[in-house]
Structure 1
């Protein structure tokens, strides 16, 4: 009898579903194998260890965010659109959002680094912001990140239901406030 071969993609798909449903607290070889109806052995044949699987999964998710979610055009201003897309991702995929950006053992630093790099690329191409120095870009990132994360978290938990216009207004106020102050020291420490 020939053994069934499980591909890396099948394992990643099951791992993604586990994270989406249970967060990274459920991210175990046993839970992923159970989702697939197999033993854990095929997982360890395809991945060195669970950290390798987690890193690969986070890379896949980052690619999905980079190419499919974050660039969606909503207002035509790439910085505002990024904020809106982040907020809507949190609302529409709240379990995955929490697993990636909120939970202690989630994407953590990797997701922050990915988001900063993406934001930095947008800023450098944006006519309004392209001449900012790194200190101001960092302050702008931290300030807008705090704003959209607050909105996203409150929306994904059903506490607030702002309109898109309200969200755009809040993001613009954060941007204007950050750019109008000479003192970026507080945001630089974060």
Structure 2
């Protein structure tokens, strides 16, 4: 009988499903190995530590998000298009979104990984947008913070708008809110 070789990608995908179901606090090597019905050895072979796995898990979330964005918006108009994509994308993986961004019960190292990866991701996104890339570092940081809060709030609000069947109304308001973020420049 041939043994299954667990790749880094397989482990990350299962870890994402595990986090969606049980949350970050329950993500341990032993719990993940039990969930995947394997020993802990393949996890230790692919990742230096659980902190490394969690960091990779968050980075993988952003990679998938960015890949889908480029696929769905090949002629992107910047942050407004990404905001709509972020809201719609996170409805498909809402539980993972909640565990990454919303549920407060995470270890400090996990929170730091989420902060570092999201900061780098939004920095690159803003640098690629001609409307925003010329901001100095302080203004760019303010924009990142406001944009990030707008995105998180929009995903949470979108859920409610879907229940009320007013999804298109929210997406129009979201575009308007993103466009108004340029008031950061004046502040």
Q: TM-score, normalised by structure 1?
A: 0.75
CA contact (8 A) 1:143 1:175 kept: no
Higher alpha-carbon deviation: 51-60 or 81-90: 51-60
Superposed displacement of residue 80, structure 1? 0.5
How far apart are the structure 2 equivalents of 1:4 and 1:180? 52
CA contact (8 A) 1:123 1:130 kept: yes
1:57 matched residue in structure 2: 57
SS at match of 2:130: coil
How far apart are the structure 1 equivalents of 2:173 and 2:78? 15
Higher RCO structure, 1 or 2 (CA under 8 Å, sep 6+): 2
1:170 matched residue in structure 2: 174
The Cα offsets for residues 136-169 of structure 1, whole Å up to 9 and x where unpaired, read as: 22222222222221121233xx433343453342
2:146 to 143, 148, 157: 143
How far apart are the structure 1 equivalents of 2:101 and 2:12? 19
Q: TM-score, normalised by structure 2?
A: 0.76
How far apart are the structure 2 equivalents of 1:5 and 1:151? 40
How far apart are the structure 2 equivalents of 1:109 and 1:83? 23
1:187 matched residue in structure 2: none
The Cα offsets for residues 15-60 of structure 1, whole Å up to 9 and x where unpaired, read as: 2221232221331222211222223343334433322322233333
Structure 1: runs of 5+ lacking an equivalent: 184-190
SS at match of 1:159: helix
2:115 to 88, 112, 120: 112
1:17 matched residue in structure 2: 17
1:159 matched residue in structure 2: 160
Query: CA 1:163–1:28 in structure 2 vs 1: closer, same or farther (change >3 Å)?
Result: same
When the two chains are superposed, the root-mean-square deviation of aligned CA atoms in Å is 3.1
Bigger proportion of residues as helix: 2
After the TM superposition, which segments of 4 or more aligned residues of structure 1 sit over 6 Å from their partners? Answer: none
2:80 matched residue in structure 1: 80
CA contact (8 A) 2:135 2:185 kept: no
Query: CA 1:7–1:135 in structure 2 vs 1: closer, same or farther (change >3 Å)?
Result: closer
Between structure 1 and structure 2, the one with the greater Rg is 1
Structure 2: runs of 5+ lacking an equivalent: none
CA contact (8 A) 2:83 2:174 kept: no
